[in-house]
Chain A
Amino acid sequence: MSILDKITKNMYPNPKFYLHKDHINWKANAENLKEVYDICVDMWKETDWNAFWDRQKFKVDDFKARLSREAKTVASMSLDEKLDLLVNGERHLGYLYRDGDMTTVRREWRGVVDTAYDFWEWAKMWGMFLKTFGMDLIPALGMTFHYRWMISYFNAHGFMDKLTMGLRGSNLRMSHEAIFPIFRYVAENIVWLAKCDEKMGNCTSLNKKVVLFDEMTMGQIMAGFPDLIGVPYQLLPVFLVSEIDQLVCVPYIDGVEAYGLPADTCPVPSSEVGSIVLDALPHMGSCFISSSMPCDGSTMASSYMSRRFPDLPVFHLCFPTRYADEATLDCAASDIKACIRFVEDVTGSKWDWAHYFECMKRFNMETDYELQKWEINRSQYPQFIGPAYELYRKWNYEMDGGIDPRVEKTCKKIAKLIEKGYRKQEPAWPFGKMKHRAIVWSCPAHYYANFSNWAANCWGIDVLVEMESLNFTKHLETSDKEEALRDLARLYERMVMRRHTNGGYQNVVDELWRQCEWWDVDIIIMYQNVACKNMATLQGILDEQSRQKDMKMIWEEHDLMDPRTVSRRTMRDKVSDFMRTVMNEEPVDESLVDFADDTAM
C-alpha cells in the first residue's frame, strides 16, 4: 500500500478521485461558449432597455415602500411587542413573497439568536459549495453552459430558506444539520458528473470507476465497492433538482410529450425520458444499474436510456413485487448476487465484504437514530418535524445508506438536539402552530417539497411523519454473508415508493390506518398524484374507510413534477378550504393563505 493510499484510506470521499486528470475538449467547449456568447449578444440587442429600467425603478420604489411600511409597523408597536419581535422574530411570513419574483424579498427575521444562527448556516453552506466546486472548478462551472438544470443548484440557499421558514430553536438547528449533508452530497456528485462528462471533464480514468444507478435504486450496494463511486444518475439532473426548482422539469416533460408520450404518464419517468431526449444527462460512467422502481414507467425510462447510450452496459434489477412473501426472497437475493458480479465484470473491482459490513453497521446505527426520532415525534412533544426531516430521511435511507462516515456525526448531533428539546418540552413550531397532528400519505409533490412547512405555518397542521419515511427498519446482517445478501434483497424490495404505493392493498390501505393509530394523528394529508394509476384505484376505498373511521382526510391533488397541472396555490387552496369549511377554523398566519409563487423557484 502506497503512502497516499494509507493517508486517504479513511477519508470520504477518497481525495484520490479528485486527482484523476481531466481531458477537456477545449475546442468543443470554446464552440459552445461562442454559441452562448452569440445568443447573449442577440438578447442584449433585443432588450427593451426602457422597459428594463422601468422594472428596476418599480423594484426600488417597492423596496422603499416596504421598508417604510415595516418601519412604521415597528414604530407603532408597544415596547413589549418590540421586545418580542427582537427576541422571537416576525410572525407574518406571507409578506416575504412578491408576485413575479423568483425569490423572497428578504430573509425572515427570526429574533437575534436564531437569525444569527441562520446567517452562520447560510455562510457555512456557501463555504462548502465554494470548497467542493473548487476541487475541480472548471468542469463544474462549465456544466452551467451545457445543462439547463445546473443553474437551479445555484439557488440551493433559497430552497434551504423554504425548508426552514418559520422555524426557531432546536427544530431550526436540527433542520440545518439535516440539510447540510444533503447539499454536500449534491455538490460532490455534481463534481463527479462534471469531471466524468464527455462534454466537460471527460476524465476517462475516473469514468472507469463510476457506476451509475437509477435515481430510485438504493445506494447500499456500492458499500461493497469502496474503490468505485456510485452516482445516482438522474438524481441531480431530474429528481432532486425538481424539489429545488418547480419549473425545471417542464422542458423535459414538454420535450418528450412533443414526441407523442401521453400526457397522463407519471412525471417521474416522463421527466427522465425527456431529459434523455433533450440530452440533459451527462455522458459518463462505466455501467448503469436500473430498476423497476417506482413503477413500470421507470422500465420505460431504462429502455430509452439503453437506446441513447448503447455502449453503456445496463443491469436491470427486477425484484419480485410480493416482497412480504419470504418465498420470493431467494429470487431477489440471486438478483443482488448477479448485480454484484456484473459490476465486478465491468469495472474489474472486487466486492469487499469487510467494507460492506462496516457501512451496514453504520446504517443500522442510523436506523436506530431514526427509530428514536419516531418515538419522540409520536409523543405529545414531537421535535424534529418538517420538510428538512422528510428530505433527510429519504436521502439517508435511499442514497447515503451508511456509506458516508460523516453522516454518523450528523445523526449524533440531531439526536442530542432532539433529547434537549424533548426534555425542555420545546414546541417544534412556535407561536401556537402546534394545533393538529398529521400524517402524509402517498407520494408527495416534488414541486412543493416544503408543503408541510406551509401547512404548519399557515394552519398549524404539523406533519409528524410521511409515508416515504416508513420503510425498512430491520437491522441488516453484518457477519453472515449469505444472510447479508438476503437482507440486502429485503431492503431493496422495500425501496421508496415500492414499499407502499406499489405494495398493494394491505401495504397502502391497512398500513395507513395502523400508522394513524400509532402516530395518534387527527388529519391525513392524502396526496393524489393525478398520473399515478396505482393509487387512483384505491381512492374510493380510502374515502369510504376514512368516513367509517371518522378520520379527517384532505385529498391533495398534484402532478408530481409539473406545477402547470395543479399549481402550488391550488394545493394550498385545497387545505385552506377544508380547514375553513370542514374544521371551521381560522389560519394561524393569515398572510400565508393567499400569495403568489407561480414563478418562484
Chain B
Amino acid sequence: MKACKTASMILGGTVGLLFVVYFWNLDQKLMGWAYVMVNRIFDRKKVDNRL
C-alpha cells in the first residue's frame, strides 16, 4: 500500500512537472535559446565554401 502511494506520488509529481514544462513552453524556450546560440557559433565557424 505504501509502495503504491509512493509510486503514485512519484508518477503524479513527474506528470505535474512535465505539464509545467509543456504549458509554459519551457522546452521550446530552452531550444529557442540553444537555436540562437548555435546559429551564432555557425556565423563564426569556418566553412568549406566551394562553388
A interface vs B, CB < 8 Å?
35-36, 39-40, 42-43, 101-107, 109, 115, 119, 122-123, 126, 144, 148, 151-152, 154-155, 157-158, 161, 245, 251, 255, 259, 277-279, 304, 307-308, 601
Contacts and interface: CB of A to CB of B under 8 A. Distances in A.
Contact of B27 (A151, A157, A308): A157
Contacts, number: 88
B31 A43 contact: no
B51 interface: yes
A39 B41 contact: yes
A148 B18 contact: no
Contact of A105 (B22, B25, B44): B25
A107 B47 contact: no
Given A103-B28, A103-B29, A154 B35 contact: yes
B23 A102 contact: no
Contacts of A304: 51
Contact of B19 (A43, A104, A119, A251): A119
B46 interface: yes
A151 B39 contact: yes
Contact of A151 (B28, B34, B44): B34
A155 to B, nearest CB: 5
A152 B32 contact: no
26 contacts: A36-B41, A39-B45, A42-B44, A43-B37, A102-B28, A102-B32, A104-B28, A106-B24, A107-B24, A119-B18, A119-B19, A123-B18, A148-B38, A148-B39, A148-B42, A151-B31, A151-B39, A154-B34, A157-B28, A158-B28, A245-B35, A255-B49, A277-B49, A277-B51, A278-B47, A304-B51
Nearest to A154: B31
Interface residues of B, number: 29
A439 to B, nearest CB: 32
A109 B19 CA distance: 12
A370 B45 CA distance: 46
A118 to B, nearest CB: 8
A239 B45 CA distance: 23
What 10 A-B pairs come out closest when comparing CB atoms?
A102-B32, A103-B28, A151-B38, A148-B42, A279-B48, A158-B28, A154-B31, A103-B32, A155-B31, A39-B44
Contacts of B31: 103, 151, 154-155, 157-158
A148 B39 CA distance: 6
A521 B51 CA distance: 47
A157 B23 CA distance: 12
Given A154-B35, A158-B31, A107 B51 contact: no
B22 A119 contact: yes
Contact of B25 (A40, A107, A123, A279): A107
A555 to B, nearest CB: 33
A450 to B, nearest CB: 15
Contacts of A277: 49-51
